[in-house]
Chain A
Amino acid sequence: MIRIEDLKKSFGKNCVLNGLDLEIEKGGVFVILGPNGSGKTTLIKSILGMVNPDSGQISINNRSVLRQWAYRSDIDYLPQIANFPANLSVAELIRLVEDLRHKPTRSKELIHLFGLQEYLGSKLHTLSGGTRQKVNLVLTFMFNSELVILDEPTSGLDPVALLRLKELIRKERANGKTIIITTHIMSFVEEVAERIVFLLDGTSHYEGSLQGIYELTGQSNLEEAIAQILQQQYAQDNLV
């Protein structure tokens, strides 16, 4: 579904993506892991066209998406920071985003799922961080697109909302959607991921199933498996 070839991006002297190759198949939950600054968000933003890569190719369903915009109507994206125009109410913001896409939405169902009914008339600047993240989730999932990209979806969510989110992700996966997630919460990854990619210094260091990374490292949980890959990498770097 998504094919990324030799993707490079630097911000000044800081090389964030260094010739990344990646293929994401249609259907399933694909998690992008990596330490801070490893290029996760830059990769996601490149797919969405918010960051212009220095070189390389990104195609979705065999069509190049670089410098295009219309393809975004088939992608739902959850940004990392949920900050909205201060003077709009929740209902107005939802209507605005609905207006921009001209597509049928299921906002009502999601408002109910995340318990946002009582906040519909509230101004966005009066909401707490977690409630804003719920609004953010409604805006993301309401269009029912084939491809869903979630950048740190768990941040600020209370346990109930987190449970609802996991349920939602499972349901969407069962409907055949492709869901790409970045997160630092390993337990969350273990619960939802089917395939993972581990980014380090702008390239992929592991790509495959969750089971595969356990077998490769001989560990039984993801946190330790990742720690082992990192340690191996540092040892190699020191040898060089």
Chain B
Amino acid sequence: MRRIIWYSLYDLLRSRWTLVYFLFYLALGFALLFLNNDVSKALITIMNIIVVLTPLIGTLFGVMFFYNSIEFTELLLAQPIKRQTIFLGQYLGLSLSLSGSLVLGLGLPFLLYGISSSGSVQEFLLLLTAGVFLTFIFTALAFNIGLSNTNRIRGFGSAILMWLFMAVIYDGLFLIALMVFDEYPIDKFALIASCLNPIDLSRILILLKLDISVLLGYTGAVFQQFFGTTRGMFISLTLLMLWVLIPIWRMIRIAIRKDF
């Protein structure tokens, strides 16, 4: 497995897109910190970008990488290696490379700015953690889509729809539901609904830590009220972990049964 992870990483680290993704975060970090000079504002802006962009990039790179390497995957399938090792290795290679771009791209400007002495280290680390979680989740979901769709166009379409649904449409539907069922007690519905969307979950996780109640929104407030800050964070982290593990489990299951 180590070799497959390593070679996938190696292949990706030399691709132009990984570099572009890294440079984007680097530029973003520098621009926000050195033009703005307010760490907490910069953190909120970065959060808003991370919760939308990391899922998008994870999804797009995930399906692209999967379809691009399908012939190479077939070559690996003919080698004496277990199927789960091949797919898990490729998945980890891609997720680690994308996470690396994120962590280094944002980490470097923040280190240079002197975040370690600014008192926002924990918040910043949590932000990166949420970004890494989202990358792992959406890459796994993209691999699921790739494995289930032999037709590339349909695969790409489904992947983009999935991202659009989670990042944009879900919130809209949620708001409509809140308005329509205004007169009913819907705390529990809201709580469950936000657990079913990893983007919402990570937003709540970060905002609970940043302790900005105005930005928490309805679900965040319910979350805080229901669980309290520390337990709320613990629960959202656990749920994010499940959001990584369940798609990985399904990915391996499909991979074992699939014909190549």
Contact = CB atoms under 8 A, between A and B. Distances in A.
Contacts of A81: 71
B79 interface: yes
A100 interface: yes
A84 B11 CA distance: 11
A51 B260 contact: yes
Contact of B81 (A11, A50, A75, A100): A100
B38 interface: no
Given A52-B257, A52-B259, A87 B80 contact: no
A96 interface: yes
A134 to B, nearest CB: 15
B69 A85 contact: yes
Interface in A91-141: 92, 96-97, 99-101, 139
Nearest to B69: A85
Contact of A99 (B3, B11, B15): B3
Chain B interface category by residue count: 20 to 34
A45 B260 contact: yes
A131 to B, nearest CB: 16
B3 A85 contact: no
Contacts, number: 69
A229 interface: no
B80 A85 contact: no
Interface in B23-76: 68-69, 71-72, 74-76
Contacts of B69: 85
Interface string A12-56: 000000000000000000000000000000000100111110000
Contacts of A51: 259-260
Contact of B259 (A11, A69, A75, A85): A11
Contact of B78 (A11, A50, A82, A88): A50
Which of A52, A70, A96 lies at the interface centre, i.e. has the most chain B CB atoms within 10 A of its CB?
Answer: A96
A156 interface: no
Given A52-B259, A87-B15, A88-B10, A69 B71 contact: no
A135 to B, nearest CB: 11
B141 to A, nearest CB: 23
Contacts of B14: 87
Contacts of B234: none
Nearest to B68: A86
A84 B75 contact: yes
Contact of A83 (B72, B81, B257): B72
B82 A88 contact: no
Given A84-B71, A87-B14, A96 B7 contact: yes
Nearest to A50: B260
Contacts of B81: 69, 72, 100
B125 interface: no
A50 B259 contact: yes
Nearest to B82: A69
Contacts of B72: 83-85
A139 to B, nearest CB: 7
Contact of B75 (A52, A79, A92): A79
B69 to A, nearest CB: 6
Contacts of A139: 75
Given A45-B260, A83-B71, A88 B80 contact: no
B77 interface: yes
26 contacts: A48-B78, A50-B260, A51-B259, A51-B260, A52-B257, A69-B82, A71-B80, A72-B78, A72-B80, A75-B78, A79-B74, A79-B75, A79-B78, A84-B71, A85-B69, A86-B11, A86-B68, A87-B10, A87-B11, A87-B14, A88-B7, A88-B10, A92-B10, A96-B3, A97-B79, A100-B81
- What 6 pairs across the A-B complex have the smallest Cβ distances? A83-B71, A73-B80, A77-B78, A72-B80, A51-B259, A87-B14
Given A81-B71, A84-B75, A85-B69, 5 more contacts: A69-B82, A77-B78, A79-B75, A83-B71, A100-B80
